[in-house]
Amino acid sequence: MMSDVGSVDQFRVGADHQRIFRVSIGGRDLCVAFWGDKVYAFASTCPHQLGPLWKGRLLPGLESSSVGSIRKAEQVVLVACPWHGWEFDLASGRSIWGGRLKTYPARLEAGRVLVDVGDSA
Amino acid sequence: MTAHAPENGVEQRRTSVIDCCVHHQWASEHELREYLPSGWQEFLGEPGSLPGGLGSRPIEIDSAYADPLRRARVAHDANGGDGAHASHPTSRGDHDDLAAVILTFDTGLYAATHPNPFFAAEIVNAANRWSLEHWLDDGGNRYGMILAATQTPDEAAEEIRRLATHSRVAGVALGASGIGKPFGHPLYLPIYKAAVEAGLPVMIHAQGDRTLDSINNPTAGGSPMTYGECNALAAQPLMTHITSLIAHGVFEKLRDLRVVVSGGGVAWLPSFLWRLDMDFKGLNRELPWLKRLPSEYFMDHVKVVTYPLDEPPDPPALFRLLETVEGVEDLLCYGSGTPHSNADEIDDVEPRLPEKWRNRVFSDNARRVLRLVDLQG
């Protein structure tokens, strides 16, 4: 079930629109953030040691085709935990070192941000 | 050092053992000097041609940290002792019953710190030919390392290619970082490529960098004052070099490269591997070419010689600590470190490790990592 968590303007703030917001849906804490025009929703704490991800950073993915090369992978959006720097792909929730962050479907509709936390919320 | 009683069980156990770290040494600089080209002999000068024994420059640059116990023992031998501490361990025959003994050089390891790279290459070539002729040509159970002058990696690679065809060469010895960079630096790749082509591992031996002219500190943070400090901290440069090899992606570039580290003991392994993985998990943006955890590269590419085996006050604590690293029994290779004062004889090490590890530590792991051409089974 999609929940309305607020207007787009509430979340797209600051020069780069990349602030992470902590929201509550049905008693469940989660994070909402924009990257460009796309909105993401994910668990509020890091699966490593429960670091507060709303205090973390959004980053573009990096990839390497050979030792010594680094390329920005714009299509990959990561959240980095503020405590130990573990990064999670917001499309899949995966960390390259194992561990998985819970992510939730999110979309924009008529200027509103909608998040689906499932039936358990 | 102990004499070994000819009990059948003990004898059979010893015949399967591979000692991965025995230090062989020329009797005097004169012995090595004969292997140098005449021009370099002239460069050295004539020992004793000036008053006070002067007249030549030393072939080796000296270590700032001499083992006081070893000097005392050698003096004891010279004064009619039993010879148990002579600097030619295998000539005494008490290693002849082992499956294999790996000769890793002694002060020859210092050559990689010589400030003259051309002379270093000549010393290394002389030392390698000395090692082959004096110790390896006649077979027996002896294998050896090709010493590398790491100041000039391209020339070191040529030396490896020249000598790797000898069936008793088991690996390449890196005593010190000759260019002042840890061993993962891309400048060292020619050495690793030559080793891989020849099917040889490289052995990084601690304390080859503790000479007066070394451009590296033998310990992190600055130079220590005494030999004992060097010994206690011997694992530090090994950690630096392994971290560097992993971070620089050397194991991604050379999937067949195998590395043996020796001279730093083993108890550092758990915290080293834990910390490597922990930090890389958070800082991997710096190294996107790494596709696996550092500990995974370590497990696949590195072996660790037990010498000098750590001695906690509660001996079983060593096993309990080591077994926190899954698969550690596949990493360890027995090495005695003979004839150094902190050498570990087989009888010293066996009771300190679990019986179920014995075959791997004393034999199987060494067979997997070293090139032991003539060794069957």
Name, in order, each residue with C-beta under 8 angstroms of B110's C-beta and a sequence gap of 6 or more: B60, B61, B63, B175, B176, B208, B210, B211
Q: What is the pLDDT of residue A98?
A: 79
Q: Does B275 contact chain A (CB < 8 Å)?
A: no
> In this structure, how many other beta carbons lie within 10 angstroms of the beta carbon of residue B174?
28
For chain B, report the end-to-end CA distance as a whole number of angstroms: 28
pLDDT tens figures, A19-78: 899 999 989 999 999 998 899 999 999 999 999 999 999 999 999 999 999 999 989 999
Q: What is the pLDDT of residue B215?
A: 85
Owner of token pair 């000769």: B103
Per-residue pLDDT of chain B (377 residues; tens, 9 = 90+): 334 444 556 666 789 999 999 999 998 888 999 999 999 999 888 767 777 777 778 787 778 887 777 666 555 555 554 444 444 554 445 688 999 999 999 999 999 999 999 999 999 999 999 999 999 998 899 999 999 999 999 999 999 999 999 999 999 999 999 999 999 999 999 999 999 999 999 999 999 988 887 888 889 998 899 999 999 999 999 999 999 999 999 999 999 999 999 999 999 999 999 999 999 998 889 999 999 999 999 999 999 999 999 999 999 999 999 999 999 999 999 999 999 888 999 999 999 999 999 999 999 999 999 999 988 55
- List of chain B residues whose C-beta atoms are within 8 Å of the C-beta of residue A49: none
Provide ipTM, 2 decimals.
0.85
Q: Does A2 contact chain B (CB < 8 Å)?
A: no
- List of chain B residues whose C-beta atoms are within 8 Å of the C-beta of residue A69: 289
Q: Does A60 contact chain B (CB < 8 Å)?
A: no
Of all residues in chain B, the one with the smallest CA distance to A73 is B288
**Structure tokens that stand for B54 in this block:** 């002067």
Q: What is the pLDDT of residue A57?
A: 95
CA pair distance B320, B360, nearest whole angstrom:
18
> In this structure, how many other beta carbons lie within 10 angstroms of the beta carbon of residue A48?
20
- List of chain A residues whose C-beta atoms are within 8 Å of the C-beta of residue B284: 87, 96-97
Interface contact A67-B252, CB threshold 8 A: yes
CA pair distance B269, B265, nearest whole angstrom:
9
Q: Does A85 contact chain B (CB < 8 Å)?
A: yes
Is residue B142 within a helix (H) or strand (E), and if so which, with residue range?
Answer: strand B142-147
Q: What is the pLDDT of residue A119?
A: 67
Interface contact B284-A63, CB threshold 8 A: no
Q: What is the pLDDT of residue B376?
A: 59
A93 to chain B, closest Cα gap in Å = 15
Q: What is the pLDDT of residue B90?
A: 47
Of all residues in chain B, the one with the smallest CA distance to A79 is B282
Q: Is A8 in contact with A42 (CB distance < 8 Å)? A: no
Owner of token pair 């070394």: B214
Q: What is the pLDDT of residue B340?
A: 86
Burial of B313 (0-12, 13-18, 19+ CB in 10 A): exposed
Residue B199 DSSP label:
T
CA pair distance A20, A33, nearest whole angstrom:
5
- List of chain B residues whose C-beta atoms are within 8 Å of the C-beta of residue A62: 285, 288
Size of interface A-B (CB pairs under 8 A): 36
Interface contact B288-A68, CB threshold 8 A: no
pTM of the shown model: 0.90
CA pair distance B259, B242, nearest whole angstrom:
9
Of all residues in chain B, the one with the smallest CA distance to A71 is B288
Instruction: Report in angstroms the alpha-carbon separations of A91 from A15, B237, B242.
Output: 23, 41, 35
Q: Does B255 contact chain A (CB < 8 Å)?
A: no
Q: What is the pLDDT of residue B76?
A: 54
Q: In B, residues 82-101, which contact A (CB 8 Å cutoff)?
A: none
